[in-house]
């Protein structure tokens, strides 16, 4: 075990936590040493086998401080507030690193994460899947070539229980296009267009759909000049995100403090 990367999964009983824990046995250099859930959760003090039959011998706890001593990486799939609380705890444990798959941070919370990253190695991404991060790269290149003569629209679809809207992934797609245009995000991004009238040139529209049990679908449309291009990513299971989080854990282990992204992990 000494040669393995010791991982804590925070949000262990959530959908993403369960997906990550279930895939850990496929990674020979990773071992689960901790599982965290919120206070009052019915699985507190239960063995991790109650979450995944593939693993046992780790007790689900409600306080990161009770597990962080035996860890290298914390994989965080909880909430913005819990993430910041755990980063604060980790400041007292040099050498720990974070993989943050949480979205919905405010600007103030984003600023706090940047401060923590001066002491803690953090990989933060709105979407951990390899395919989606390749799409970020492709969309940026397409937007740079087509420019604002082509109308850019983003449509995202998620399950009805998703809290944040638009998705962090949709926001990141918009950011990539904004960067390609050399514009300011606040000036040209229009979420859930409501005002009547023609579409302004150079505007980027984002539209969110919440329905059923859709895991995640993102479509970017570039339309103009008698043609349109659609670039789509569909997540068929949460394993795509879980594999990405575990690859990120492998990459960030032993890194110097800093705020990294999946582009660093994938070498994009």
Q: Looking at 158, 171, 243, 247, which residue is catalytic?
A: 158
Let me know: does 100 contact 84? Beta carbons within 8 Å. no
Asked if 160 is an active-site residue, the reply is no
Asked if 233 is an active-site residue, the reply is no
Coil vs helix vs strand at 242: helix
Residue 207 in tokens: 């539209």
Residue 189 per-residue DSSP state: E
> Which candidate, 104, 58, 110, places its Cα nearest to that of 77?
104
Paired strand residues for 223 = 151, 228
Q: Looking at 38, 119, 144, 162, which residue is catalytic?
A: 162
Cα dist from 179 to 10, 75, 182, 218, whole Å: 33, 29, 5, 19
* 234 phi, psi to nearest 5 deg: -120, 125
Q: Which residues of 100-127 are buried (b: 16+ CB within 10 A; e: fewer)?
A: bbbbebeeeeeebbeebbeebbbbbbbb
Which residues are tagged catalytic?
Answer: 158, 162
């Amino acid at each position: 075990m000494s040669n393995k990367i010791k991982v804590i999964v925070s949000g262990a009983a959530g959908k993403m936590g369960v997906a990550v824990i279930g895939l850990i046995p496929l990674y020979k250099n990773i071992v689960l040493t901790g599982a965290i859930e919120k206070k009052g959760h019915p699985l507190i003090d239960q063995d991790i086998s109650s979450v995944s039959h593939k693993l046992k011998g780790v007790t689900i706890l409600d306080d990161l401080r009770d597990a962080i001593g035996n860890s290298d990486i914390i994989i965080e799939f909880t909430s913005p507030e819990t993430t910041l609380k755990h980063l604060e705890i980790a400041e007292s444990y040099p050498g720990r690193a974070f993989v943050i798959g949480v979205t919905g941070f405010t600007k103030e919370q984003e600023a706090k994460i940047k401060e923590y990253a001066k002491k803690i190695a953090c990989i933060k991404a709105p979407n951990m899947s390899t395919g989606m991060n390749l799409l970020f790269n492709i969309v940026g290149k397409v937007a740079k070539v087509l420019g604002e003569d082509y109308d850019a629209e983003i449509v995202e679809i998620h399950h009805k229980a998703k809290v944040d809207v638009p998705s962090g992934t949709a926001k990141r797609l918009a950011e990539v296009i904004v960067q390609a245009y050399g514009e300011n995000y606040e000036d040209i991004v229009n979420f859930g267009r409501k005002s009547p009238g023609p579409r302004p040139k150079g505007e980027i529209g984002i539209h969110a759909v919440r329905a059923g049990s859709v895991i995640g679908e993102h479509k970017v449309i570039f339309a103009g000049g008698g043609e349109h291009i659609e670039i789509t990513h569909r997540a068929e299971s949460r394993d795509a995100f879980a594999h990405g989080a575990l690859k990120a854990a492998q990459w960030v282990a032993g890194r110097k403090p800093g705020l990294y992204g999946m582009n660093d992990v994938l070498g994009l």
